[in-house]
A and B are shown apart, each in its own frame.
Chain A
Amino acid sequence: MKILAVDDDPDFLDVFETVLNGLGHGDVTRMGSGREVLDLLATSEANFDLFVLDIQMPEMDGIQLCRAIRAIDRFRDTPIIMNTAMGDRENVDAAFAAGATDYLTKPVDPVEIKARLGVISRLLNERELAKKSISQGQSDRRTGPSYGFEDGIPLKRVEGAIDLFAMGNYLKTLGMFRALSVCAVAVSVSNARQIHDLEGGYVFGEVMIDVATCLSDCLNPSNRMLAYAGSGIFVCLVSRTDLPEPERLGDQLRQYVMEFEEIYRDLDIQLPVISVGPAIQNRAMQLGSPSRIIDEAIASAKSSRARYASTA
């Protein structure tokens, strides 16, 4: 794994690089500022599998750098871990909104780094396999990536969309009280399977992006966060104070989706049928695994999907 570590503190980089080397990651490039990084990425074809960015740096901070890296097409999906001594909500939210994949808190802990890099490594392998399966499925009637029904679909054009993996990491960084203030709501496209099977993987991907755009428009712009979980299911994280009634969210979303009706009819594509699951929130006894609310919301959407399938 090719790693680029960025920190303005050479002592920290010495320690971090030594730890990475000790964990078997020998291909580490180190840099001291955001400007250096952007110069390198702009002037060469240098490629990295993982960025680790300090947040608190002079001139360009790590969050600005994260955003700038994400704007470079070839690094749109490259994992970015933010590394900082600060753990406040503002930084966590800003980092994930800027496109961070995960978040580490200083000081350097070899056990934690080993665990996080192990997860990143598995994520990279899964993406590689998904890319292969997508490139093998290019027999669509329209050109573009052809997604399997359960594949992840990049939602980079959608405001507030992040990777499902990053959403889980975000929840883990929140701490007890913050985790208790957030709910997960799953939104399911009940006829997703039919759309996929009838229209193929490319059109299916475009339809899911349309639904994600409508969903994003339904959420509070100041703190919206949504992710695609595969199989026509989306998960959004909503503050308990902003929590809309599922019926109201469903009605608004269906109304936005209906705006596509004419276009879809012209293209002879089924309009997505939307169903919104209950808000799932963390309970004090289960705070050891705050990201389970995502899994529960997805499970709830799948079970209502099964009910739809049996009645359709």
Chain B
Amino acid sequence: MPTSVFNPPQIDLEGLRGKFLDRITERCLAIECIVVGAEGTHPTEVERAQIAHYAHKTVGVAATFGYGTLGERARDVERIMSPNDVPDWSTARPVINAMLQEMERILDDAG
């Protein structure tokens, strides 16, 4: 049957959801490691780039799986960690924490 804006295409992404959640678990752990390691100091440039990279990858697909809030939090992190806009770690950290909390909430819900 043809689809339209009023009859959006139904795409079955369930087969990919488990893989996406696995990836979120990996990213969540990796970012938490960087954040804990930076306690009392600040992350290196490489670590900042790593966080921005994880956020960028999360922005690309989160909303497609129905995790729009995670997509927004990840976009905030990507934006604040971009090379042109690197703030103090004390400013960046709450933004990163908000993304991590959303990741954890999704993983908890998924059981």
Give the interface segment out of B9-17, B39-47, B92-100: B9-17
Q: How many A-B residue pairs have CB under 8 A?
A: 65
**Which one of A11, A22, A23, A114 contacts B57 once the chains associate, using CB atoms below 8 Å?**
A11
Query: Which residue, of A11, A19, A114, has the highest number of chain B Cβ atoms within 10 A?
Result: A11
B37 close to chain A: CB less than 8 A: no
Report whether A107 and B62 are in contact in the complex, using a CB–CB cutoff of 8 Å: yes
Report whether A109 and B20 are in contact in the complex, using a CB–CB cutoff of 8 Å: no
Report whether A110 and B9 are in contact in the complex, using a CB–CB cutoff of 8 Å: yes
**Which one of B12, B13, B57, B78 contacts A12 once the chains associate, using CB atoms below 8 Å?**
B57
A107 to B64 CA separation, bound complex (whole angstroms): 6
**Which one of A9, A15, A114, A115 contacts B64 once the chains associate, using CB atoms below 8 Å?**
A15
B2-31 at interface with A (beta carbon < 8 Å): 3, 5, 8-13, 15-16, 19-20, 23
A14 to B22 CA separation, bound complex (whole angstroms): 14
Report whether A14 and B16 are in contact in the complex, using a CB–CB cutoff of 8 Å: yes
Report whether B9 and A107 are in contact in the complex, using a CB–CB cutoff of 8 Å: no
* Residues of chain A contacted by B15 (CB below 8 angstroms): 18
Task: Give the residue name and chain of the A residue nearest to B61 (CB).
Answer: A15
A8-45 at interface with B (beta carbon < 8 Å): 9, 11-12, 14-15, 18-19, 22-23
Report whether A115 and B16 are in contact in the complex, using a CB–CB cutoff of 8 Å: no
Report whether B10 and A85 are in contact in the complex, using a CB–CB cutoff of 8 Å: no
A85 to B75 CA separation, bound complex (whole angstroms): 8
* Residues of chain B contacted by A115 (CB below 8 angstroms): 5
Task: Give the residue name and chain of the A residue nearest to B78 (CB).
Answer: A85
Task: Give the residue name and chain of the B residue nearest to A24 (CB).
Answer: B9
A106 to B64 CA separation, bound complex (whole angstroms): 9
B63 close to chain A: CB less than 8 A: yes
A105-125 at interface with B (beta carbon < 8 Å): 106-111, 114-115
Q: Give the 7 A-B residue pairs with the shortest CB-CB distance, closest first.
A: A22-B11, A107-B63, A85-B59, A106-B60, A108-B64, A12-B60, A107-B64
Cβ contacts A to B, 13 pairs, < 8 Å = A9-B60, A11-B20, A11-B23, A12-B61, A15-B13, A19-B11, A22-B11, A22-B12, A56-B56, A107-B60, A108-B64, A109-B63, A109-B64
